[in-house]
Structure 1
Amino acid sequence: MNAAYPPPHLITLPKLGESSIGYISVVEGGSLLFRVERVFWTYYTPESILRGRHAHHRTEQVLVAVAGRIVVTAETPDGELHTFRLEDPNVGLYLPPSCWHTMQYSHTAVQLALASLPYNEQDYIRDYDEYHRIWRPDPAD
């Protein structure tokens, strides 16, 4: 794992309210490891589709299943696989740029993504072999 970034991990977001009136979760100020520069969401993804299949050079992200269930598999540069099940809207998954990740959604899933940088196609690593060349440590070192 690149020492500049923590490994992928779950973070609990504030959950304000009660069952009789509902809840709100908030991300503000310094509550994340980075400043949010881009927000996007994914929805109506068929359960048979595996999304993601990429890593980033620089972008950090937090993924939240605001509805439904999302199973995220993240591979760190050392080859370790981490599987996370997101189904609570006040729990996010931090993904550093060095993680190859895939997502599989339940039919009703809505994924909110908070990203540290604006969209830039050059930041994406979409080829798995290239990911290994860039992020895997050289065993000879």
Structure 2
Amino acid sequence: MTRFQILKLPTHTDGRGSLTVLEGALPFPVVRSYWIYGADGQTRGGHRHRFTRQALVAVSGAVIIYMNDGVGEASVELMDPGQCLLVEPKDWHTMTFGEGAVLLVMSSHPYDRSEYIDEPYV
């Protein structure tokens, strides 16, 4: 069990495969989306935000997300494309990529480097 919120996304499965729906599932409007891939064995991130909320989905492979909100910490393994980890502005996070992993990131705000906080909690 983790203190960080993981959403179970609506997924429809039949003999033809699975379809996962994001429409109406996130608690914020998506302003920016991107995906990270080709990062096998690499750790990325290492920051938190002033305003931006994010939703992370491992659409392929496995990604371990280390989270620390200044009160508690946890490592969350995303490996099911029907799961979505919410990253709040206060959440310091890093993302470590398994082989062939693809991580979809949806953000509440456009990119603004001045909005990043690079110092971890002590």
Counterpart of 1:27 in structure 2: which amino acid?
L
- For each residue in 1:36-75, what CA deviation from the matched residue of structure 2 results, as whole angstroms up to 9, or x when unmatched? 101000001021x211101001000010000000000100
Q: How does 1:57-68 map to 2 (within 5 A)?
A: 57-68=50-61
Higher helix fraction (1 or 2): 1
Max radius of gyration: which structure? 1
Q: Identity percentage over the alignment?
A: 33
TM-score (norm 2): 0.92
- For each residue in 1:13-45, what CA deviation from the matched residue of structure 2 results, as whole angstroms up to 9, or x when unmatched? 011132x2011111113x211111010000010
Contact 1:8–1:96, Cα closer than 8 Å, also in 2: no
- Runs of 4 or more, structure 1, over 4 Å off, are none
**Aligned counterpart in structure 2 of residue 74 of structure 1, from 58, 67, 78:** 67
Question: What does residue 11 of structure 1 align with?
Answer: 7
Structure 2: runs of 5 or more not aligned: none
Compute the RMSD of aligned alpha carbons: 1.4
Q: How many residues align?
A: 120
User: Is 1:105 aligned with 2:97?
Assistant: yes
Question: What does residue 17 of structure 2 align with?
Answer: 22
Counterpart of 1:15 in structure 2: which amino acid?
T
Structure 1: runs of 5 or more not aligned: 1-6, 137-141
TM-score (norm 1): 0.80
Tell me how far 1:112 sits from its aligned partner. 0.2
